Amino acid sequence: MLNIALLIAFALVTAAFALALWRLLKGPSAPDRILALDTLYINAIALLVLLGIHFGSDLYFEAALLIALMGFVGTVALCKFLLRGDIIE
Amino acid sequence: MKRLLPHPLLTPMLALVWLLLNNSVAPGQIVLGLLLGWAIPVFTLPFWPEQVRIRHPRTLLRFAGVVLFDILVANLKVAWLILVRGRHLRPAFVVVSLDVRHDLAISALANTICLTPGTVSARLSEDRKSLLVHALDADDHAELVATIKSRYEAPLKEIFEC
Amino acid sequence: MNDATELLLSLLVLAGAIFTFIGSFGLARLDDFYTRLHGPTKATTLGVGSLLIASATYFSVTGDSLSLHEVLVALFLFITAPVSAHLLAKAALHQRLTSLAPLPENAENRPGDALPAAPPSRAEPDTRGEIPNTPGGAHDTSLRERGT
């Protein structure tokens, strides 16, 4: 039962990836693209967690944590860049 | 005492995070976590602007419960709005005037508004007296403002200020 | 792992994946930036949250000891998601993106004043260019002055 649920979940998360990628390519504005990148990293965390359950491996957790940390920093840096035209003041 | 243990709440929290990170409760890890929990606040003392004081821990717990419940309910609502009402939403900007003055309370309120689906706090006015909030689907603007004020702002005011 | 846990796990995994999908679906489908912002920053939080709960349950049941470190990722996401949503909204206001909802005129100068009911914006995608986006005039300077 869990395997079927995981398969459906993989399909849904992959579709979510595709939708976010479409928004990333389409834009139309810079904040839209940053939002799409933000969504992509959250989707990546979801996918890694699912892979962790699927393979029964603990190793994916570290990757998910690192993506969460780096993704947030990236979003903040890009927003700062839009707000100030500069990241490091 | 103040210099040796500047943030009494931060130490156990850092230790807890360390234990979660290592996923173990071995005695050695507990000691190491407590050591880190003591050392990090001491060495980062100059970066902490002020001491956080929580006046009513029980109100804080109840508030956390209310927010978690709201996240659950409102997530379902946003999901429904996106799927069913997709192109017939009534988005709106509303201005919430703030009664709270404390920086931490304001940021906690802004975060809470962002975390409960359907609303995003968009901008804090320069004089820190009003918060611009974007709502995904607002029927009655005055009611939305009243809900935010009574449900989230009042407990935060109680927790951080009086 | 008995049947009840497996059912619970399957439900959690499915709910998480559905919410993640709905978040991205909102991102792709909705019409202006400010409404798009709501989908991913919210639905994904709950989606990834329940996936992480499922993962913690799975490793606690199958492994030899309790596994709670997924809580860290969930906690971190719940702290950072509102911050990035707020920053994105602020950046969009700064860029004067057009919006389906009329922007408040000069929100800076009218603290404490709930907006009068906005004109009924039966929002259709092709009307969005008609609403001029005019945040407060002093907006640019206010952002600079507020700097660190």
Question: Which residues share a beta bridge with B134?
Answer: B93, B120
**Sign of the C-alpha dihedral computed for residues B117, C34, A16 and A75 taken in this order:** negative
Cβ pairs bridging B and C (under 8 Å) = 165
Per-residue confidence (pLDDT) for residue B137, from 0 to 100: 78
| Alpha-carbon gap, residue B61 to C20, rounded angstroms | 28
Which of A19, A34, A79 is closest, CB to CB, to C25?
A19
Per-residue confidence (pLDDT) for residue C122, from 0 to 100: 40
pLDDT higher than threshold 50 for residue C121 = no
Neighbours of chain C (3+ CB pairs under 8 A): A, B
Chain C hits for A72, CB-CB cut-off 8 Å, are 76, 80, 83-84
Where are the domains positioned within chain B? 10-47, 57-160
Instruction: Kindly give the interhelix angle for B27-43 and B10-22, rounded to the nearest 10 degrees.
Output: 130
Nearest to B121, CA basis, from B88, B154, B150, B98: B98
> Under DSSP, is residue B131 helix (H, G, I), strand (E, B) or coil?
strand
Neighbours of chain A (3+ CB pairs under 8 A): C
Q: Please list the rounded mean pLDDT of every run of 10 residues in chain B (162 residues).
A: 69 87 84 88 77 74 87 84 77 81 82 82 78 80 80 79 62
The token pair at A14 is 């992959």
Q: How confident is the model at residue C78 (pLDDT cuts 50, 70, 90)?
A: confident
Which one has a higher pLDDT value, A59 or C64? Answer: A59
Per-residue confidence (pLDDT) for residue C126, from 0 to 100: 40
Chain C hits for A5, CB-CB cut-off 8 Å, are 9-11, 13-14
Q: Which amino acid is at B119?
A: T
Chain C hits for A84, CB-CB cut-off 8 Å, are 143-144, 147
Residue A24, chain C, CB below 8 Å: the answer is no
> Is CATH 3.10.510 correct for B57-160?
no
Nearest to A70, CA basis, from A33, A40, A32, A31: A40
Per-residue confidence (pLDDT) for residue A10, from 0 to 100: 92
DSSP codes of every residue in B98-125 = -----HHHHHHHHHHHHHSTTEEEEEE-
Nearest to B111, CA basis, from B77, B75, B152: B152
B25 touches B33 (CB < 8 A) = no
Per-residue confidence (pLDDT) for residue A13, from 0 to 100: 92
C7-64 pLDDT tens trace: 888 999 999 999 899 888 888 888 788 888 888 777 677 888 889 888 888 888 887 7
Residue A7, chain C, CB below 8 Å: the answer is no
Within the 40-79 window of chain B, which residues sit less than 8 Å (CB to CB) from chain C?
71-72, 74-75, 78-79
Neighbours of C119 (CB within 10 A): 8
Helix H, strand E, coil C: the string for chain C is: CCHHHHHHHHHHHHHHHHHHHHHHHHHHHCCCHHHHCHHHHHHHHHHHHHHHHHHHHHHHHHCCCCCCCHHHHHHHHHHHHHHHHHHHHHHHHHCCCCCCCCCCCCHHHCCCCCCCCCCCCCCCHHHHHHCCCCCCCCHHHHHHHCCC
Residue C123, chain B, CB below 8 Å: the answer is yes
Neighbours of chain B (3+ CB pairs under 8 A): C
Q: List strands edge to edge, sheet with B92-97.
A: B92-97, B130-135, B119-124
Per-residue confidence (pLDDT) for residue C118, from 0 to 100: 42
Q: What average pLDDT does chain C have?
A: 71
Which one has a higher pLDDT value, B85 or A18? Answer: A18
Which of B23, B82, B122 is closest, CB to CB, to C68?
B23
Within the 70-129 window of chain B, which residues sit less than 8 Å (CB to CB) from chain C?
71-72, 74-75, 78-79, 82-83, 86-97, 110-115, 117-118, 120-123, 125-127, 129
| Alpha-carbon gap, residue C146 to C108, rounded angstroms | 13
Which one has a higher pLDDT value, A40 or C97? Answer: A40
Instruction: Point out the least confidently predicted range of A19-33, A49-63, B110-124.
Output: B110-124
Structural domains in chain A plus CATH codes: 2-84 (1.10.287)
pLDDT higher than threshold 80 for residue C104 = no
The verdict on a CB contact (< 8 Å) between A53 and C69 is no
Chain A hits for C70, CB-CB cut-off 8 Å, are 49, 61
Neighbours of A9 (CB within 10 A): 29
pLDDT higher than threshold 80 for residue A23 = yes
Residue of C nearest to A11 (CA): C17
DSSP codes of every residue in A33-88 = HHHHHHHHHHHHHHHHHHHHHHHT-TTHHHHHHHHHHHHHHHHHHHHHHHHHS-S-
